[in-house]
Amino acid sequence: MQKRILGRTGWAVSVIGFGAIKLPRIGFKECERILNRSLDARINFIDTADCYGDSEEKIGQALKKRRKEFYLSTKIDERDGRGVRQKLERCLSRLKTDWIDLVLFHDVRGSEYEKIFNAGGLEELEKARQEGKISHVGISIHGSIPMMRQAIESGGFSVLMVAYSAIDEDRLTADLLPMAAAKGVGVIAMKPLAGGRLAKFPARGWDYQLFKAESPAQLALRYVLSNPHIKCAIPGMMTLNELEENLKVGERPRELSAAEIKKFMAKAGEAGKGFCRNCGYCLPCPEGIAIPDVFRYESYYRHYGLKDWAQSQYGSLPVNAEDCSDCQQCLDKCPYGVLIPSNLKTAHKILMES
């Protein structure tokens, strides 16, 4: 398994990490099988989150006897000191471990960034680090490029986790990832298959000869890892077939040819039409709807099985998608052709199902 150094952590992490977001959709025995197979195949980075259903419990149960064989990462959505400490202690308990290698502030948006510093969240994780309960602090940011810059320059985070795939790489300007490398901030690519979109090209028309008999998912991962500043990609997995397919990318590194890149990116471009990147270009909405958040919660509901969490988060929004006035200002601002007003109506219906 190919490895890369994850910034100032100094860890040599497997280029394919295990994304645990889908684990709530399978049973404990199947989790045990796939997680242990991952470690046997030399995957040494496993990423989960406090909000990923029972994934932490499943990882803790399956791998408690192999804890020293991998780097463990989890994410918390609290920002204040007290909330961060409570969530951290819960994560430690559910993961059945005395320490967590990497704890990230999860999906930081808007004023939440300043709150991490001003309300004691970062300070609390630093205390936990001194206590030996965690090793490094990171941050995951889905949309804001300026916030990514702030996080990199702050010196407070060892790792930055970003959505990065062949569909949405254009969200990251050419200098952002090199800047992270220069500052010693390791970059991890979440959603490298764009929520599964890049794994679902029709078999008809897929040029297996050109693509060396590899699948769309494998090409998508190879494309992400062709950027040397991406140290680890964490596709969500829940079957042994998915795992074995992804393993081959890390075990058999190769450069994509110019012809492969050209044809693959053409297909990725088609798949990306109408796909929300969570970039926030559509904002502000005149009605105050947090459009990217609505589509993100819909994605968690539909594609990852986190139905209760997605509905809870959606329900906590001060303004929901039902308040869309169909003014269509967002359509003029979206560079990706997302049919925002009609998609908001669909998302609202899905997220309000009982």
The tens digit of pLDDT for each residue in 22-46 reads: 999 999 999 999 999 999 999 999 9
Among 205, 234, 257, identify where a domain stops. 257
Task: Tell me how far apart the alpha carbons of residues 271 and 292 are, in angstroms, rounded to a whole number.
Answer: 18
| Structure confidence at residue 42 (pLDDT) | 97
| Structure confidence at residue 15 (pLDDT) | 98
Q: Where do we find the tokens 């951290």?
A: 88
Pure H helices in 41-192: 55-63, 81-94, 112-118, 121-130, 145-154, 176-182
Is 275 among the domain residues? no
Q: pTM higher than 0.85 for the full model?
A: yes
State mean pLDDT over 76-92: 97
Answer yes or no: do 174 and 236 share one domain.
Answer: yes
State mean pLDDT over 232-239: 96
| Structure confidence at residue 232 (pLDDT) | 98
Structure tokens of 64?
């408690």
Is 264 among the domain residues? no
pLDDT bin (cut points 50, 70, 90) of residue 170 is low
Answer yes or no: do 117 and 211 share one domain.
Answer: yes
The domain that holds 213 is classified in CATH as 3.20.20.100
Task: Tell me how far apart the alpha carbons of residues 164 and 170 are, in angstroms, rounded to a whole number.
Answer: 9
| Structure confidence at residue 334 (pLDDT) | 86
Among 231, 257, 283, identify where a domain stops. 257
More confident residue, 81 or 300: 81
> For residue 27, with 0-12 CB atoms within 10 Å meaning exposed, 13-18 middle and 19 or more buried, which class applies?
exposed
Mean pLDDT of the chain: 93
More confident residue, 156 or 279: 156
More confident residue, 143 or 69: 69
Answer yes or no: do 298 and 215 share one domain.
Answer: no
pLDDT bin (cut points 50, 70, 90) of residue 144 is confident
| Structure confidence at residue 212 (pLDDT) | 95
| Structure confidence at residue 173 (pLDDT) | 63
Q: Domain count for the chain, please give it.
A: 2
Among 202, 232, 257, identify where a domain stops. 257
Is 271 among the domain residues? no
Structure tokens of 322?
């039902």
Answer yes or no: do 327 and 194 share one domain.
Answer: no
Answer yes or no: do 181 and 33 share one domain.
Answer: yes
Answer yes or no: do 206 and 312 share one domain.
Answer: no
Is 180 among the domain residues? yes
Range of the domain at 325: 291-351
Residue 210 makes CB contacts below 8 A (sequence gap 6+) with 259, 260, 263
| Structure confidence at residue 209 (pLDDT) | 94
Answer yes or no: do 244 and 331 share one domain.
Answer: no
